[in-house]
Amino acid sequence: MEAVVGGCPNLLHQRSLKLAFCVAGIMVTLLVYGLMQERIMRLPYGDGKEYFEHSLFIVFCNRALTCMITVILMLIQRKDIAPVAPLYKYSAVSLSNMLSTTCQYEALKYVSFPIQTLAKSAKMIPVMVWGMAIMQKKYRACDYLLAVSITAGCAVFLIYGEMDKITALSKNQSSLLGTLLMAGYLGFDGFTSTFQDKLFEGYNMDILNQILYVTVWSCALSVIGLLSRGHMLPAISFVSRNADCLFHISLLSLAATASQFFISYTIRTFGALVFAIIMTTRQLISISLSCLWFGHPLNLMQWSGAILVFGSLYYKSFVGFKKKSSSAMEPQV
């Protein structure tokens, strides 16, 4: 019995280390991705002060690099490259991911960035809805309470940290169309991670297999978009004239590729809901670090929001530990 009881904390410790690895990997790679994306799209290049305007070309580059690296890894590990699921199921993940990204960027034309950031704090809710609809998952009352607590905590933190910006910008930019686009973003984004989870469970799918065929579809869709708009040749011409732009796109693509591996591993190991929790709390942590770095003190309401979020997460971890401990002990006693 002692070995079993002693082994449970050890297993939980290993799982906690895996989760910490996932959180650190997702946050670091997405931070680099975001910095490079802002550098490429918002600052000029060359003596002529040219701006890069072909965002779909960036999508194509990072997806193409992901495909190449995935194929190399699969060949090194001698894994079967053939798809284990029907191709249209991979395309569903790719299409929903591209639609969520499109809704996110288009929504910025109609709603302010602070409002969009606030809306993202509701990521957990659509994931739970899709989990019930697609995977017939049943959540307990404490799971719903956790989702509401984290969402409310992030909302309080963001609202009271960006109140002036939200008030000023929302008067001019908020609209029904912007709200619908944000709802589309949350819906498609929740579907993407949930359907990935379903593919992993339904086909006992390897991480590399899913990444390969999802990114193949994304490459195809981005190429079609570039050619139909006539943007492919202008984008290639731009990066050939500006080597530093090519370097930034390459760095962004490496970060995007690494993030795909971390995201897929997280969903495969912990599920779509845990991934949604990570992505939700990532915003709060980023803003908190920014406040500390630049010397902007948090107000009372922001501290309340942060305590609500991290208290909810601590409670989830504590309950999970007790549940694992009791389930491990009972059968052997």
Point out the least confidently predicted range of 20-24, 62-66, 151-155: 151-155
Domain assignment present for 8: no
Pick the more confident residue, 328 or 152: 152
Residues forming beta bridges with residue 50, ordered by sequence position: 45
Instruction: Judge whether residue 213 has pLDDT over 60.
Output: yes
What digits encode the pLDDT tens for the residues 218-239? 999 989 989 998 989 999 999 9
Residues shown for the chain: 333
Pick the more confident residue, 102 or 235: 235
Instruction: Judge whether residue 111 has pLDDT over 70.
Output: no
**Contacts for 288 with CB less than 8 Å, ≥ 6 apart:** 298, 306
Domain assignment present for 144: yes
Domain that holds residue 153: 16-320
Instruction: Judge whether residue 263 has pLDDT over 80.
Output: yes
Among the listed residues 147, 88, 177, the one whose alpha carbon sits nearest the alpha carbon of residue 281: 147
What mean pLDDT, rounded, does the chain reach? Answer: 79
Domain assignment present for 329: no
Q: What are phi and psi of 291, to 5 degrees?
A: -65, -45
Query: Would you state the structure tokens that stand for residue 143, as one six-digit string?
Result: 């799971």
Give the pLDDT mean for 127-133.
87
How far is the C-alpha of 116 from the C-alpha of 311, rounded, in Å?
Answer: 25
**pLDDT above 90 as % of the chain:** 24
Domain assignment present for 282: yes
What digits encode the pLDDT tens for the residues 278-314? 877 776 666 666 566 656 666 777 778 777 777 776 6
Domain assignment present for 267: yes
What is the pLDDT, as a whole number, of residue 43?
Answer: 83
Return the amino acid letter for 276: A
The residue with tokens 């971390």 is 262
Instruction: Judge whether residue 149 has pLDDT over 50.
Output: yes
Pick the more confident residue, 49 or 173: 49
- pTM passes above 0.85: no
The residue with tokens 């305007």 is 53
Domain assignment present for 328: no
C-beta contacts of 242-249 below 8 A and 24+ residues apart: 242/45, 242/46, 242/50, 242/52, 244/45, 245/40, 245/45, 245/52, 248/36, 248/39, 248/40, 249/36, 249/40, 249/57, 249/58, 249/61
Dihedral sign from CA coordinates of 137, 140, 141, 146: negative
Domain assignment present for 100: yes
| pLDDT band (50, 70, 90) for residue 268 | confident
What is the pLDDT, as a whole number, of residue 65?
Answer: 93
Exposure of 7 in the CB half-sphere (CA atoms within 13 A): 8
What is the pLDDT, as a whole number, of residue 246?
Answer: 93
What is the pLDDT, as a whole number, of residue 262?
Answer: 93
Instruction: Judge whether residue 325 has pLDDT over 60.
Output: no
What is the pLDDT, as a whole number, of residue 215?
Answer: 92
Number of domains in the chain: 1
What digits encode the pLDDT tens for the residues 160-212? 765 555 444 444 445 677 778 888 888 998 899 899 888 888 888 888 999 99
Instruction: Judge whether residue 55 has pLDDT over 50.
Output: yes
C-beta contacts of 127-131 below 8 A and 24+ residues apart: 127/190, 127/193, 127/194, 127/272, 127/273, 127/275, 127/276, 128/273, 129/190, 130/190, 130/191, 130/194, 130/195, 130/272, 131/194, 131/197, 131/272, 131/273
**pLDDT above 70 as % of the chain:** 76
Instruction: Judge whether residue 330 has pLDDT over 60.
Output: no
What is the pLDDT, as a whole number, of residue 71?
Answer: 94
Domain assignment present for 326: no
Q: What are phi and psi of 83, to 5 degrees?
A: -65, 145
What is the pLDDT, as a whole number, of residue 287?
Answer: 63
Residue 70: burial class (beta carbons within 10 Å; 0-12, 13-18, 19+): buried
Q: What DSSP letter does each residue of 19-68 carry, written as one string?
A: HHHHHHHHHHHHHHHHHHHHHHHHS-BTTTTB----HHHHHHHHHHHHHH
